[in-house]
Structure 1
Amino acid sequence: MLEPSPIRSPRSRLLRFGAAFVVLLAVAGYVAVQYVTGGAGAPGCRVVSGDDDGATYEFTPEQAVNAATITAVGTARNLPERAVTIALATALQESALRNIDYGDRDSLGLFQQRPSQGWGSAEEIMDPAYSAGEFYEHLVEVPGYTRLPLTVAAQRVQRSGFPQAYAKHEPDATLLAAALTGRSGATLTCDGRPGATRAKGPDAVRAALVRDFGRDVLQPLGAEVGASADSSPAPSASASGGSGGRTVTLPVGDGPGTGEDAERRGWQLAHWAVANASSLHIERVAYAGRQWTAGNTDSKWYPVGGGSSHGSERAPGPVRITSAR
């Protein structure tokens, strides 16, 4: 004998519908936040080896910004790539390249530096450029640090309770350093989904360049922070044209250093811009006949115009950083 189906009241059906609708809204909101912020909890950036050995490292936009700052501060001090590798491996271990405001006792920031131990005030340590500078100040005082094992060099600065922990980060730090110092060109990409809470536009790009590299980085532009893009005597059109008012142009072949030095500087600035794409609303970066565009998820730099880039990769030329509309 068949049992009669229970009678469901309209109120019960309405409650179930309402609960399902709330869940859908929550899921949609989460997806939207992840898209807008660049996916703070998931990798949105990727670096590959320039040696064709298949090595890769995936990381988040937040980590990319901090890694780019650490690298820029080191190269602005004319320190070798080895110093940058040591700094990046240390920050990977101490904070996972996140600028955290907590830690063991009063430890803070990328390198977990302690105000009570003379590293600076809490506010200073939470400034990534400052904390990176402090790390390098101590690193260069270590005799022969470039020849020491990474764990030894890092430990003499940090005096950690787990000195061997830095070793596991050396491969990833080496990949990051090669890309962010510009030695390996066209090896770093990010999704480039723009953040919702940061300033955007060419002035914000210039300000961030000065924050990380120092004011000298703008000298080739002939422009100061806050100046309009039209005030620069250098050409300001992007690779695809039509966006001069949104493009910061950084000539790298006309100043001191030519050839490989200029090319390396160019790729450093280009990779720095990609690493900061989400936070600064950068839409496109072009250099040496190649172009990265926000929203591409196949981790590639494409030849400008879709043609072959052979012969143009090493040609001198400016780095062009175009902000989103």
Structure 2
Amino acid sequence: MTTRVPRTALIILAIVVVLGGAILFAVYRLLQQAEPYVRGENCQITTPDGTIELDIEQSQVAAVIAAVAARRKLPERALEIAYITAIQESKLSNIPYGDRDSVGIFQQRPSQGWGTVKQLMDPVYSTRKFFAALEKVEGYLDLPLHDAAQEVQRSADGGAYADHRATAIILAGAFSGRVASAVYCWYPPPAKPVKADPGEARGELTRALGAAARKDSWLVATWYVTHAQKYGLRQIRYDGVSWTAENGHDGWQADKSGKSGPMAVS
């Protein structure tokens, strides 16, 4: 004997299925829209030596240090020394306080002749001062990283710099541009639209890197990615790949535009 399902029940079942599908789709769309906010903002740095994450401010500081090193034509080892120092002293943050009158990313002291507080709170200036002092250390490239850092800083505990050697090596390989597409950042969209200002970004880069800022390189591309949020940049294309702010967490992807040529920042 075959039991017939009432037509009304079939209609109700169909409505339930349709509504259920609509609800699932709506939930899916909400999760998609919420994803950038859930992920927050950060940068990932990956080289053959390992992977680490920094917040965006730390990544900007790391990019500035690399740019100043490139301007002075310093080798990657000098960059590693700067990184272990900045990590130990400030965690790569531009802080306006510290032990006694120390300030900035290298915790330099105005009373010891490093410069004024305003000057030392400028990462470009403070990095230049650090490298100028480092270059005066005889044979610094042959010293263990922490010993070279201590020769500049004269810290109460110079051995602490050694704890950051592995991180510094990853950072130096990435931010120097030696390792391609090693750095990417992500962050939620701004509450209000921000007009992209590649010109202002380029000017700030030039202040750190000098005339070399006009040259295409992974150092330059990395600097733009770490400063994209600050200057409202939406896309950086270089070397056949691109990074977009909208999909920042996906990192560098094959450039679908098919365009080749110099770096494009917008």
- Is 1:124 paired with 2:119? yes
Alpha-carbon distance in structure 1 between the residues aligned to 2:195 and 2:111: 33
| Partner in structure 2 of residue 287 of structure 1 | 238
Picking from 301, 312, 315, the partner of 2:252 is 301
* Aligned-partner residue type, residue 303 of structure 1: A
Structure 1 counterpart of 2:63, from 60, 68, 91: 68
What per-residue deviation string (whole Å, max 9, x for no partner) do you get for residues 241-262 of structure 1?
A: xxxxxxxxxx53xxxxxxxxxx
Matched with 2:198 is 202
Structure 1 position 176 matched with structure 2 position 171: yes
Matched, 1:47 2:42: no
Q: Deviations over 1:213-260 (max 9, x none)?
A: 12x145x4xxxxxxxxxxxxxxxxxxxxxxxxxxxxxx53xxxxxxxx
Structure 2 residue 262 is matched with structure 1 residue 318: yes
Aligned-residue offset at 1:211: 2.3
Task: Check conservation: 1:99, 1:109, Cα contact below 8 A.
Answer: yes
The structure number with the bigger radius of gyration is: 2
Q: Any idea what the Cα deviations from partners look like across 1:124-180, whole Å, max 9, x if unmatched?
A: 111100000000000011111111111100000000011111111111111111111
Q: Read off the aligned partner of 1:177 and give its amino acid letter.
A: A
- TM-aligned CA distance change 1:283 to 1:156, over 3 Å: same
Spell out structure 1 runs of 4+ moving beyond 3 A.
192-200
Instruction: Classify the secondary structure of the residue corresponding to 1:101.
Output: coil
Partner residue of 1:277 out of 220, 228, 241: 228
**1:300 deviation in Å?**
2.6
Q: Which residue of 1 aligns with 2:101?
A: 106
Give the number of the structure whose residues are more often helix, by fraction.
2
**After the TM superposition, which residues 184-199 of structure 1 pair with which residues of structure 2 at under 5 Å, given as runs?**
184-193=179-188
Other-structure match for 1:89: 84
- Is it true that 1:138 corresponds to 2:133 in the alignment? yes
Q: Which amino acid aligns with 1:288?
A: D
Residue identity opposite 1:74 in structure 2: A
Cα distance in 1, alignment partners of residues 158 and 191 from structure 2: 39
Comparing 75-84 and 186-195, the one that deviates more: 186-195
Contact kept? 1:56, 1:175, Cα under 8 Å: yes
Report if the CA contact (8 A) 1:269-1:319 is conserved. Answer: no
The amino acid across from 2:232 in the alignment is H
Flag the structure with more relative contact order, 1 or 2, with Cα contacts below 8 A and sequence separation at least 6: 2
In the alignment, is the contact (CA less than 8 A) between 2:185 and 2:226 conserved in 1?
Answer: yes
Displacement of 1:317 after TM fit?
A: 3.8
**Using the alignment, how far apart are the partners of 1:137 and 1:299 within structure 2?**
38
**How far has the Cα of 1:81 moved from its partner?**
0.8
Q: Deviations over 1:256-292 (max 9, x none)?
A: xxxxxxxxxx111111111111111111111110111
CA distance 1:59–1:195, change in 2 (3 Å): farther
State how far apart, in whole Å, the 1-side matches of 2:149 and 2:196 are. 36
2:24 aligned partner: none
Instruction: Look up the SS of the partner of 1:100 in the other structure.
Output: coil
5+ residue gaps, structure 1: 1-31, 221-250, 253-265
- Whole-Å Cα distance in 1 between the matches of residues 190 and 111 of structure 2? 34
